[in-house]
Every structure is written in structure tokens, then in C-alpha cells.
């Protein structure tokens, strides 16, 4: 099996490189925390924009379903609400990659932070010998629970729009009271 030979980087060179880049573990931790904060703000903004768009679509859908015009109301409610449901589904599919990417980047920076705190135990200790960051904050389980709303919301809305779109068509094509 062929192997690619690369130069070995010594531990001293790696330490020197890290010292030039960050200066100290504290600066590295501050950098990781800033990146986590920045990406969390991006995720929150994407989630807010997504929810605002979805809420307008839900209002438009409900308004269209309430159309009682005797001349063209039945035809209108047959086509427009399913179209809005499709638009909501496409909007969800379009928003998902950006939300997931922000989540993955946050996951990466939390991993880097936890590895730093694991490799530099002094970093986690405050003046009174209690941890600066508790285990819940520096493990995957802790922060992932906080981000679940942003990650799950698109899938909940995708299901919502599929069910609502099918229901809108079914209710117009069948006469449940006749």
C-alpha cells in the first residue's frame, strides 16, 4: 500500500505556532467563546427570520381557507392554500441548510473549547478552586439541548405544511357534510 510521506511537526514547533497565533490558552478560550457567541447569534437570526416567514404563510393560508366567495371561492381555496403550503415547505427546505450549518459550526467550536478545557485543567478553575465552566456547559449534551429548538423547527414546519397542504386539497375535493 503506498504511503504519503510528510514532514513530522515536532511538539516544540506546534507549541511555538500556537503561542504565536493565540499567545495563551486564555486567549484561545476567549477566541472560541467569541466564535460560539457569533455563530449562536447567526443561528438565532436565521431562526427568527424563518419563523417570521412561516408565521406570515400560516396567516395567509388561514385567510385563504376562509374565503367564502360564492362565485370563485371554491376554486380559489382549491389552488391557493395548497400553493401556500408548497411555498412553506420549499421555504423550510431552503432554510434548513443554513440552520444546520450554523449548528455544525457551533458544535465544532464547543468541541474545541471542551478539548482546551480538558487539556488545560487550570483554565477551568476560578479563584476559589471551583470550575469556571461546569461539566454541563462544556459537554455536547448541555449546549445541544439549547440548540434543539432551532434544529427541530424546520422539520416540524415541513410536516405541518405537508399535512396542511394535503388536508386543504382533501377538504375541497370531498364533501364531508353532503
- CA separation, residue 98 to residues 57, 79, 95, 132 (Å): 20, 30, 6, 32
Q: Where are the domains of the chain?
A: 23-173
- Under DSSP, is residue 125 helix (H, G, I), strand (E, B) or coil? strand
- Under DSSP, is residue 131 helix (H, G, I), strand (E, B) or coil? strand
Neighbours of 109 (CB within 10 A): 20
Q: What is the pLDDT along the chain (178 residues), one digit of tens a residue?
A: 565 555 566 666 655 655 566 778 888 888 999 999 999 999 999 999 999 999 999 999 999 998 888 888 888 988 999 999 999 999 999 999 999 999 999 999 999 988 888 887 776 654 345 555 555 555 556 778 888 999 999 999 999 999 999 999 998 888 665 4
Q: What is the pTM of this model?
A: 0.74
Start-to-end C-alpha separation, the chain: 75
Amino acid at each position: 500500500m503506498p504511503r504519503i510521506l510528510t514532514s513530522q511537526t515536532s511538539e516544540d514547533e506546534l507549541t511555538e505556532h500556537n503561542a504565536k497565533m493565540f499567545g495563551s490558552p486564555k486567549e484561545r478560550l476567549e477566541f472560541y467563546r467569541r466564535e460560539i457567541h457569533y455563530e449562536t447569534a447567526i443561528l438565532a437570526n436565521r431562526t427568527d427570520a424563518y419563523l417570521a416567514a412561516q408565521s406570515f404563510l400560516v396567516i395567509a393560508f388561514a385567510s385563504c381557507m376562509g374565503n367564502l366567495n360564492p362565485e370563485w371561492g371554491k376554486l380559489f381555496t382549491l389552488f391557493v392554500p395548497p400553493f401556500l403550503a408548497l411555498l412553506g415547505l420549499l421555504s423550510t427546505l431552503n432554510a434548513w441548510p443554513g440552520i444546520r450549518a450554523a449548528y455544525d459550526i457551533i458544535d465544532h467550536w464547543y468541541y474545541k473549547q471542551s478539548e482546551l478545557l480538558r487539556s488545560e485543567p487550570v483554565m477551568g478553575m476560578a479563584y476559589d478552586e471551583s470550575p469556571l465552566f461546569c461539566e454541563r456547559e462544556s459537554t455536547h449534551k448541555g449546549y445541544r439541548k439549547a440548540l434543539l429548538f432551532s434544529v427541530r423547527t424546520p422539520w416540524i414546519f415541513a410536516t405541518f405544511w405537508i399535512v396542511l397542504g394535503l388536508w386543504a386539497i382533501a377538504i375541497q375535493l370531498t364533501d364531508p357534510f353532503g
